């Protein structure tokens, strides 16, 4: 909206300036200009909020790329440390990323992030029923694939890629999956 600087200030009650109380004459507020200022402030607020949101998204993307690059080979356990049906927890790729390593068969090891993809509660292995269980909202994940089978989670658990070398099990990467 264009503000005509030459036009006299308009008062809220519509009366001329001479009929206004002294305090309003001393500190006149142009009602139209004030509304214009409010819209401009609102637009500024929206632009800054959007900018902050975009910066947040970029920051998350950069962090995720950085963490993926950080995923170097890390020893988790010796093969003989786990019996069939046993699970052990570890952290990968950083100390803030809890994971589970599960020995599901003689020659089969599975590893997943142990943070539920719903609201990040820790999941627990239930090997007897072939699933991982999140007690927070009764979420269930298939043990073999890490995919959600019941409850609120919609995304699979990130899979930790493994390497078995000379009797030891290593984590080598994190596979984020959307479905």
Q: Of residues 95-154, which lie at the interface with ligand FES (CB under 6 A)?
A: 116, 118-119, 121, 134, 136-137, 139, 151-153
Indicate the SS3 state at residue 13: coil
- The token pair that represents 141 in the structure block: 């994940």
Query: Residue 48 or residue 119: which is nearer to ligand FES going by CB?
Result: 119
157 touches ligand FES (CB under 6 A): no
Closest to ligand FES by CB, 37 or 135: 135
| Residue (39 or 137) nearer to ligand FES, CB | 137
How far apart are alpha carbons 63 and 131 in whole angstroms?
30
Q: 């043990």: which residue's tokens?
A: 143
Q: How many CB atoms lie within 10 A of CB 76?
A: 22
Is residue 168 within a helix (H) or strand (E), and if so which, with residue range?
strand 168-175
User: Cβ closer to ligand FES: 123 or 169?
Assistant: 123
The minimum distance between CB 36 and ligand FES, in angstroms, equals 47
Between 152 and 173, whose beta carbon lies closer to ligand FES?
A: 152
Strand, helix or coil at 99?
Answer: strand
Q: Residue 164 CB, nearest distance to ligand FES (Å)?
A: 30
Helix (H) or strand (E) holding 162, with range, is strand 159-165
Tell me the closest approach of the beta carbon of residue 109 to ligand FES, in angstroms. 24
Residues contacting 2, CB < 8 A, separation 6+: none
**Site size for ligand FES, by CB under 6 A?**
11
88: helix, strand or coil:
strand
Q: How far is the CB of 79 from ligand FES (least distance, A)?
A: 30
Integer Cα distance of 144 and 167 in angstroms: 22
| Rounded least distance, CB 113 to ligand FES, Å | 12
Residues of this chain that bind ligand FES (CB under 6 A): 116, 118-119, 121, 134, 136-137, 139, 151-153
């Amino acid at each position: 909206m264009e503000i005509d600087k030459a036009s006299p200030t308009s008062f809220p009650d519509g009366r001329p300036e001479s009929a206004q109380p002294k305090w309003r004459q001393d500190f006149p507020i142009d009602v139209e200009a004030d509304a214009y200022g409010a819209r401009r402030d609102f637009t500024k607020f929206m632009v800054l909020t959007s900018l902050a949101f975009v910066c947040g998204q970029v920051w998350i993307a950069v962090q995720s790329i950085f963490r993926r690059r950080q995923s170097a080979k890390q020893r988790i356990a010796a093969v003989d440390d786990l019996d069939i049906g046993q699970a052990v927890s570890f952290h990968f790729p950083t100390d803030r990323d809890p994971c589970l390593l599960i020995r599901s068969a003689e020659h089969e090891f599975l590893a997943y992030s142990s943070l539920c993809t719903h609201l990040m509660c820790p999941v627990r292995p239930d090997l007897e029923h072939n699933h991982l269980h999140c007690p927070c909202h009764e979420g269930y994940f298939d043990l073999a694939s890490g995919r959600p089978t019941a409850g609120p989670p919609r995304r699979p658990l990130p899979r930790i890629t493994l390497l078995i070398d000379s009797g030891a099990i290593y984590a080598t990467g994190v596979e984020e999956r959307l479905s």
